[in-house]
Structure 1
Amino acid sequence: MLQLSQTPWGVGNRRGGGSIEVVWERRRNCRQRISREKRNRVFATLKKDRCGSLHGSTTRLKVLLFNARSVKGKSSIIQDLIMDEHADLACITETWLDDLGGVSLTQLCPPGFRVHQQARPGGRGGGVAVVFRQSIALVRCVALQSVGFECLHLKVGTRDSLGILLVYRPPRDTAVSLPELAEVVSSVVLGSQRLLVLGDFNIHAETTLTGAAQEFMAAMTTMGLSQIISGPTNQAGHTRDLGFVAGNGLVGVEEQIILPLSWSDHYLISLRLTVSSNLRRGGGPIKMVRPRRLMDPERFLRSLGDLSTMEADDPVDALVTHYNGELSRAIDTIAPERPLSLRGVAPAPWFTGELAEMKRARRRLECCWRTTRDVSDRARSRAAIRAYSAALRAARKVFSTARIASATNRSSELFRVVGELLHPPQVGGAPDISSTRCSEFAHHFADKVAQIRSDFDAGLDALPGEVTEASVCSILWDSFRLVQPDDVDKILGAVRATTCALDPCPSWLLKQASGGLVDWFVRIINASLEQGIVPSGLKQAVVRPVLKKASLDPANLSNYRPISNLPFLGKVLERVVASQLQGFLEDTDFLDQSQSGFRPGYSTEMVLVALVDDLRRELDRGSVTLLVLLDISVAFDTIDHGILLGRLSGMGLGGTALQWLQSFLEGRSQLVKLGDTCSDPWSLTCGVPQGSILSPMLFNIYMKPLGEVIRSFGVRCHLYADDTQLYYSFPPNSKEAPRILDQCLAVVLAWMRANKLKLNPDKTEVLQVSRTSDRGIGWQPVLDGVSLPLKAQVRSLGVLLDSALTLEAQVSVVAGRAFAQLKLVRQLRPYLEKSGLTMVVHALVTSRLDYCNALYVGLPLKTAWKLQLVQRSAARFLTGADYRAHSTPLFKGLHWLPFIFRAQFKVQVITYKALNGLGPTYLRDRISPYEPARPLRSSGEALLLLPPTSQLRLVGTRERAFSAMAPRLWNSLPREIRQALTLLSFRKSLKTWLFQKAFVD
């Protein structure tokens, strides 16, 4: 039973009995001091685990709830409020943010905090967010959403966790939204023994309820939820912000305080909860770290031993062991590990002493107003808040602007700073870092591959998969070329300085000290290449599970993607082998012509240009084309080592070269690492290592026969690594097409099974490209006994293709995402100069317009105008022009090509690459040089042959195809541009010519 006293201010509750005593009082300005002896007695009763975390039988959790009425412009005040209240969680309703959040969401988080938010799906207003301490084990769960309210479902803790459901329900449509909200609460109650439901429900709980509100409160009581908020929660005197607790005594309300906020019409509700569960709070784990300021490259090199003590013919494993031991000893000498407690949180670097004094003055005025409730005191308090907020924003702007200015000439550092401004700190996907959790991930990843392999072994078809396997040829390459110091220097400059947990010292330190380590690298690499052995110390990977999408359930292990990290020395060694293997593949032209993945001069854009060209040509002829996008499950992880080694031998490898690659594949292992906790390593008997630069090249070799299998049925295909798409064109009335395509899919399925690759029919998609009158062909392709339904649109390598190739859906998606990024960049205007803004706009906005823009040439204006609108908006944003300003002078001032000319520029660059051997042969075969029957003045003009007019049946369909459009655009160029000697000179001359054509002609 809640008892409300008649004292004037604040709501407080003290432990004792079964009721919550409510007291209205002024906040105390100072905290109660606890003697050191008493504090020591308290800590002596707590149990300390091996990592240094403090856990008691119960955990206290301080939760804030308030309605912000838009956090924009209030982020600094809210951040201060969270820090002043020493809150663990701050539940905010009516954030008025969109899905991206931007700077306002980032600035909500004090140092050491993270944030989850749920924006209103459509329109302005609404939205909820929870800001929480990083030391708390908190994960976001999937919750049902409705147009009538926004909610955010979270779980706090690792085992027997506390569920939190934050809700904002606008006052409209009570009869509809409240029953829907009750349904959501009922689904959450079933999965949580301890539950806290709170938010702005827009129910006047202090009155006698009727109708849907009464039924809702009765339903909450039926579900075992008790309402704990008493007293008015807004300036109108209503109790609209509510809190419900369920848990049969497992969740207690130790203290409740309600205080007015001068910057919102809702009050602040502060709850101190006691939860009989481990929330992993307190000091946090004690980590062992090395001070970076002590890691001086010169001192590091002086501390190293001498590799010359090792003999030249020593095993490479011994060399690597000596290398790791010496590096570990040297780093321990100059920068020994020290314990670092995560208990303290550093203050914001821009928070000065003047701001601290302004904050104290603001707090004094707030306390005065809460005591007197005088209008003039409130006016002075609000003026102090406005002045303090302005000073905070100014200080943050000066600090951020200085950081950005110092990074202007370093693009990677600039985008890192911009990312910190635009995006809040990332929330870890796996909060439970126990050894049990690591083992669960390890078993999940290992069992997934083992299950697929066992299915192959149990049900392997007798149908041969190697129907087009190349015969074994004589040995063409039997040994690697040994490296020189200059070769290693070049590789060290190119490889990223990502440090693996198995590395003896940070990779960035090795790169900075590379001058004294080159001889070590050369000695180890050459020993490995000569002996044909990959050191066992470089064949273990550390796997970090990462959620595939932030909206997925973190409790489901299937929602995680394993990210592998390999030792730094192993990456350098692999790059040496990869460069030589790539040269061999180019010299022998071994790879399939339709394979474009991870090959120099190839890209997803070129694959799509060729694919759409074929589809448009067939559509122009009146043919029906079925595009089938195959889905392969964990393709890199199920590769059979024996089959791969057979393919390597069949392409001419032997000697120590083949022996080294066999050693690279065999004897590998990996382990899962969460925080400082690791699982036991497990052996990998199949697959190629994730994160290795060699793995994509080996996968391309493994997949080489597949293209020949598909083409043997007259079906065309394109492969980009494991992304396989095949397409078959036929007359609308063809009776043989179903049999041919189904037979092709059956043989592809048999080839996949014979080669230990699993096709997933449920995720395989089919698109029919045809004229409107031919859409109903009356049959569906069949794969593994599953009929594949025809879809209206499919996503191929990031581009949405539709049945008529209008690209309207693709243009709409690109324009929408580019506009969303432009809205984010707009928030950076106070912090960036024009040059920095221009760089960010190019990276985040116009880059989206440029991806595959070769497909947009010739599109109708009604389709392309959306993309033009994005470019115009970006130009007006950078120049500060009015929305009515004409875009042409803005583009000219920024030296931007208009959207249409940018697309033509891309087509002509692709054409130049195709003609000069810098691109795929499948593009080169689509265009032909113009060769007149007799010698003419145009013979040396480097012109292309235009397709006959008789072949262009549908105006705008075939004309937009690359094979018809590229010759027309190419022939319009001046001869000196067409005959440019290098790609760089061609691009420069082409842009100048297009710029003159766009703005001068």
Structure 2
Amino acid sequence: MGNLNQSSLQGGEGFHGQGLIEVVWGRRKNGHFRPREKRNRVFATLERNRCGSLQDRPPSFKVLLLNARSVNGKTAVIQDLILDEGADLACITETWLDEQGGVNLTQLCPPGFGVHQQARAGGRGGGVAVIARQSIALIRCAVPQSSRFECVFLKVGARDSLGILLVYRPPCDPAVSLSELAEVVSNSALVSQQLIVLGDFNIHAETSLTGAAQDFMVAMTTMGLTQVISGPTHQAGHTLDLVFIVDGGTVRVEEQNILPLSWSDHHLICLSFAVSSNLRRGGGPIKMVRPRRLMDPDGLPRSLGDLPVLETGDPVDVLADRYNSELTRALDTIAPECPLSLRRVMSTPWFTEELAVMKRARRGLECIWRKSRDVSDQARAKAAIKAYSVALRAARKAFTTARIASVANRPSELFRVVGELLRPPETQGLPDDLATRCSDFAHHFAGKVAQIRHELDSSLIVVPAEVTEAPVCPILWDSFRLVLPDDVEGILGSVRATTCALDPCPSWLVMQAKEGLLDWFVAIINASLGQGSFPSCFKQAVVKPLLKKTSLDPSVCNNYRPISNLPFLGKVLERVVATQLQEFLDDTDFLDRSQSGFRPGHSTEMALVALVDDLRRELDRGSVTLLVLLDISAAFDTIDHGILLGRLSGMGLGGTVLQWLQSFLEGRSQMVKLGDTCSDPWPLTCGVPQGSILSPMLFNIYMKPLGEVIRSFGGCCHLYADDTQIHYSFPPDSKEAPRVLNQCLAAVADWMRRNKLRINPDKTEALLVSRSSDRGIGWQPVLDGVALPLKSQVRSLGVLLDSALTLEAQVSAVAGRAFAQLKLVRQLRPYLVKSDLTTVVHALVTSRLDYCNALYVGLPLKTARKLQLVQRSAARLITGASYRERSTPLFKELHWLPFIFRSQFKVQTVIYKALNGLGPAYLRDRISYHKPARPLRSSGEALLSPLPISQARLVGTRERAFSAVAPRLWNSLPIEIRQAPTLLAFRKDLKTWLFRCAFGE
């Protein structure tokens, strides 16, 4: 199409004649690039962006504006459109998505893109979304939302560089909606001096405007904003989609193309802006990488060569440094580093050659239709688009199936993959200067620990001798057992192949080449164990800041938790020591019996089963129980090394064992790493590294005396690492209880201070468990001078406990979260085969129902019905059954136990573990084998003694307390199941028996 004359640009006497700037407008030439031409065009664009043009033109910024009229069923076409146009930002109006967005929003995002969206507050339709390259730094700013329009405001690039406000305004109620929109634009103009306002305003800008529309356009002009769209944007010839930029600003339109689309009544607007600065992060070689295809597991040992002859008494530091240098040299030989350049276009892994052929045919038919504008040509183009979309969905489905199948047995990886399918990535707003960000994190983490230690030291001038000095104890373990190659090979199978930035070689390659590296591992590990020294090169940690909750502000350092990433061989060495240390702890029974954290056969569920059993038994006795959940600030980071070494010595460690543990603790350092940027390392004078294998075990040893302090006042406790739960029971009319309990809490606070741990009273919670008639005690517990308010419910190890132990709040919360996940998974159904859908439902839905479901035994039907409904909905989702179909045949088809039987299965499994030494001793003590007064035929049937009636007077105790329910459920099992030889055999036979009981087979 030729150039437009001035009258056509002005659009008669309408607003277009006021203050127009000159733009280039026209139709794109029909036809399409062949693959090689298109690739060359992309490379040329990349080179131009990196090096600049001959005329030293400002960097360009390409934006698409599109009214989709619902993205449902159009995701493949829109994604291809974004990639084909090489857009930096795609602004989409009328998405018709809900607040979650779900799979449709994920499908819109090509690889390397993120998304920000705003859904309509109420009703269907509407909504806007901005899809942007992740190489562009975007920060979403809050703007007032209205029920009359939707908008998203983003700041692009460096501070005050460019603001983009995307708007969709329905045609109704123009007077009020346009007035409110003008207010939003004015606020945005104050935030960003260079502003682009675009979207579907539903203003007929091609006509002479009157009324509210004219007032709005005048207001935009008053704010210095000029409308630049100069042609029809709707198939009916209307100009409804508008773009405003600052008149005379540094942002100007280089090129403008308006293209009709066969699948939307609005046209596609392609805009290329000239901006004053490059809005993209980085460029050119971003890092040095080693091609994975060259990393040959067989070639690595050959390049490494034979183990060098070691001189007698070589320090382990020399061996470890030689291992690192030799492995680096070998890796340089087989896979030398090469620079990786930033690619503007990322490939879609599911795109095949067949799809490429269909895509070229589809674009050819679209070009024919744009020339002819014939209805039959449009129909053929739509048919090609539909066929291409179906084929693309099939390809993505096959790719997704293979991807889920590859991680089906790795829960963490499965959660990550499903999360990528359900939640599109957001563009990052972190600053380009990662060095500053790393330094901020490093100062924050180091300063937080230093501040806590300073406060503790100032509050306690002299540490008592009984804390720092080890009690007299004979040495029970003074030397490690050296390892053999078979021992190391077994340990390698139990260590996750995580790679640290300090590792000389990727861990996955080391695992695959372990046959040729075993001699190295054995030499270094045995030298370390024999010399009682932990290699210095393994003491440095790389800290990765992990956001505590996704809802927290990512720009605040205090919202992050430091997770240490340690060298791989150092973790293997830790695993060797941890195995022998665990054997020693089991033999000596040193740890507190109520400690469940990071111990074999223990779990959060077992700790909660014991806690709730204690609370229910006290209720049955008529007592009132006060439950206090302590909060400790940065517990792992403030451990005092001197006190810990005293505890280790006091438990009977000496010789090279104690020397090795002292070497492990001292001389450590860590640094923060973001991307390829690291902070300066800083030394650690206290604490144990989070992410270490030994740290949880050392923390349990450190906390051992706390249980003794609590029990000395008649209280009870349950611990899971630093989660400490104290409960104290007393008669409702007791006058002595407040004094004793506050003395206990004061002693706990004093013990924390003496042991360099800071208790946080503001985050500590208290719950009074009592019968409804006894509720209220007239006083508040006091912790470290702070009165603890009594709450109606508290969260203990992820479970909500209420004052009457009804668990109604817990069940409602679990059902709500499970239903929310079901809604998301339902959107994945078109992209997954049945087996993969079942795997995803297990990971996201039924796993929530199964967590701590041993507590759900005996729930009232009205409470349990909520979780039963979730299970039925999950079964219908997998099988595709309608809501009218009965759930029982669906459970049989899926071989699922109904909810009530699943909780019984969990309790009976816990009983088997407790009776056979596979569970905690505190559960074993609650049940006992039945011993009749005289020999009976049932004497050898492994029956349990039921709880006496006098100790289970309440229905809640008889039906739901573990010590009362366990004998009844266990004794109902056939003898061959009770006497199963292994846990695996027991679980298999138990599920078969329960399945028959549930379905009458």
Structure 1-normalised TM-score? 0.89
Partner of 2:29: 28
Partner of 1:709: 709
Inter-partner Cα distance in structure 1 for 2:170 and 2:617? 54
With over 3 angstroms needed to count, the CA separation of the structure-2 counterparts of 1:318 and 1:798, relative to structure 1, is same
Partner of 1:856: 856
Unaligned 5+ runs, structure 2: 12-17
Inter-partner Cα distance in structure 2 for 1:771 and 1:234? 69
Cα drift, residue 759 of structure 1: 1.9
* Conserved? CA contact 2:625–2:728, under 8 Å: yes
Inter-partner Cα distance in structure 2 for 1:406 and 1:964? 43
Cα drift, residue 955 of structure 1: 2.5
Report SS of the residue matched to 1:131: strand
Of residues 497-506 and 410-419 in structure 1, the stretch that sits farther from structure 2 once superposed is 410-419
Q: Tell whether 2:787 aligns with 1:787.
A: yes
Inter-partner Cα distance in structure 2 for 1:663 and 1:894? 54
Inter-partner Cα distance in structure 2 for 1:216 and 1:632? 56
Partner of 2:295: 295
Partner of 1:625: 625
Of residues 191-200 and 899-908 in structure 1, the stretch that sits farther from structure 2 once superposed is 191-200
Q: Tell whether 2:62 aligns with 1:62.
A: yes
Partner of 2:324: 324
Partner of 1:513: 513
Q: How do 1:766-845 and structure 2 match up within 5 A? A: 766-830=766-830, 832-845=832-845
Q: Tell whether 2:744 aligns with 1:744.
A: yes
Partner of 2:385: 385
Q: How do 1:638-787 and structure 2 match up within 5 A? A: 638-787=638-787
Partner of 1:82: 82
* Conserved? CA contact 2:667–2:684, under 8 Å: yes
What letter corresponds to residue 851 of structure 1 in structure 2? Y
Of residues 967-976 and 776-785 in structure 1, the stretch that sits farther from structure 2 once superposed is 776-785
Cα drift, residue 140 of structure 1: 4.7
* Conserved? CA contact 2:9–2:230, under 8 Å: no
With over 3 angstroms needed to count, the CA separation of the structure-2 counterparts of 1:556 and 1:650, relative to structure 1, is same
* Conserved? CA contact 1:464–1:751, under 8 Å: no
* Conserved? CA contact 2:415–2:843, under 8 Å: no
1:955-979 CA deviation, whole Å, 9 max, x = no partner? 2455212122112111212223223
Q: How do 1:890-969 and structure 2 match up within 5 A? A: 890-956=890-956, 958-969=958-969
Q: Tell whether 2:448 aligns with 1:448.
A: yes
Q: Tell whether 2:490 aligns with 1:477.
A: no
1:299-325 CA deviation, whole Å, 9 max, x = no partner? 211111333322131111111111111
Inter-partner Cα distance in structure 2 for 1:348 and 1:74? 17
Inter-partner Cα distance in structure 1 for 2:54 and 2:901? 64
* Conserved? CA contact 2:133–2:427, under 8 Å: no
Cα drift, residue 62 of structure 1: 1.4
Cα drift, residue 912 of structure 1: 1.5
* Conserved? CA contact 2:497–2:508, under 8 Å: yes
Unaligned 5+ runs, structure 1: 11-16
What letter corresponds to residue 480 of structure 2 in structure 1? F
What letter corresponds to residue 630 of structure 2 in structure 1? L
Partner of 2:279: 279
With over 3 angstroms needed to count, the CA separation of the structure-2 counterparts of 1:282 and 1:726, relative to structure 1, is closer
* Conserved? CA contact 2:540–2:669, under 8 Å: yes
Cα drift, residue 379 of structure 1: 3.6
What letter corresponds to residue 972 of structure 2 in structure 1? S
1:422-455 CA deviation, whole Å, 9 max, x = no partner? 4545765745353222222222221121121222
Cα drift, residue 482 of structure 1: 0.7
Cα drift, residue 680 of structure 1: 1.3
CA RMSD in angstroms, aligned pairs only: 3.9
1:584-604 CA deviation, whole Å, 9 max, x = no partner? 111111111221110001001
Q: Tell whether 2:520 aligns with 1:527.
A: no
Inter-partner Cα distance in structure 2 for 1:920 and 1:42? 62
With over 3 angstroms needed to count, the CA separation of the structure-2 counterparts of 1:933 and 1:234, relative to structure 1, is farther
With over 3 angstroms needed to count, the CA separation of the structure-2 counterparts of 1:614 and 1:273, relative to structure 1, is farther
* Conserved? CA contact 2:66–2:91, under 8 Å: yes
Q: How do 1:269-668 and structure 2 match up within 5 A? A: 269-281=269-281, 283-343=283-343, 345-370=345-370, 373-401=373-401, 421-424=421-424, 430=430, 432-460=432-460, 471-668=471-668
Cα drift, residue 898 of structure 1: 1.2
Inter-partner Cα distance in structure 2 for 1:57 and 1:751? 68
Inter-partner Cα distance in structure 2 for 1:772 and 1:170? 54
Inter-partner Cα distance in structure 1 for 2:112 and 2:910? 48
* Conserved? CA contact 1:849–1:867, under 8 Å: yes
Cα drift, residue 658 of structure 1: 0.8
Cα drift, residue 289 of structure 1: 1.3
Identical-pair percentage: 76
Partner of 1:14: none
Inter-partner Cα distance in structure 1 for 2:217 and 2:471? 77
Of residues 519-528 and 158-167 in structure 1, the stretch that sits farther from structure 2 once superposed is 158-167
With over 3 angstroms needed to count, the CA separation of the structure-2 counterparts of 1:42 and 1:138, relative to structure 1, is closer
Cα drift, residue 557 of structure 1: 2.1
Inter-partner Cα distance in structure 2 for 1:82 and 1:835? 33
1:192-220 CA deviation, whole Å, 9 max, x = no partner? 45444544566777775767x89988887
Cα drift, residue 166 of structure 1: 4.1
Of residues 635-644 and 375-384 in structure 1, the stretch that sits farther from structure 2 once superposed is 375-384
What letter corresponds to residue 25 of structure 1 in structure 2? G
Inter-partner Cα distance in structure 2 for 1:117 and 1:817? 22
Report SS of the residue matched to 1:107: helix
What letter corresponds to residue 593 of structure 2 in structure 1? Q
Aligned residue pair count: 986
Of residues 61-70 and 662-671 in structure 1, the stretch that sits farther from structure 2 once superposed is 61-70
Cα drift, residue 272 of structure 1: 2.6
* Conserved? CA contact 1:139–1:554, under 8 Å: no
Inter-partner Cα distance in structure 2 for 1:555 and 1:407? 32
Partner of 2:131: 131
Inter-partner Cα distance in structure 2 for 1:282 and 1:4? 42
Cα drift, residue 650 of structure 1: 1.2
Inter-partner Cα distance in structure 1 for 2:963 and 2:222? 69
* Conserved? CA contact 1:55–1:278, under 8 Å: no
Cα drift, residue 413 of structure 1: 8.0
Report SS of the residue matched to 2:298: helix
Inter-partner Cα distance in structure 2 for 1:272 and 1:468? 70
With over 3 angstroms needed to count, the CA separation of the structure-2 counterparts of 1:224 and 1:322, relative to structure 1, is same
Cα drift, residue 708 of structure 1: 1.7
Report SS of the residue matched to 2:563: strand
Cα drift, residue 421 of structure 1: 4.2
* Conserved? CA contact 1:566–1:692, under 8 Å: yes
Cα drift, residue 408 of structure 1: 7.7
Of residues 536-545 and 66-75 in structure 1, the stretch that sits farther from structure 2 once superposed is 66-75
Inter-partner Cα distance in structure 2 for 1:675 and 1:524? 31
Report SS of the residue matched to 1:614: helix
Report SS of the residue matched to 1:20: coil
Inter-partner Cα distance in structure 2 for 1:40 and 1:905? 64
With over 3 angstroms needed to count, the CA separation of the structure-2 counterparts of 1:972 and 1:398, relative to structure 1, is closer
Of residues 465-474 and 619-628 in structure 1, the stretch that sits farther from structure 2 once superposed is 465-474
1:12-55 CA deviation, whole Å, 9 max, x = no partner? xxxxx984346763223479999x9xx9999799779xxxx999
What letter corresponds to residue 875 of structure 1 in structure 2? A
Report SS of the residue matched to 2:522: helix
1:914-947 CA deviation, whole Å, 9 max, x = no partner? 2222211221222233333344444333222222
Partner of 2:72: 72
With over 3 angstroms needed to count, the CA separation of the structure-2 counterparts of 1:873 and 1:209, relative to structure 1, is farther
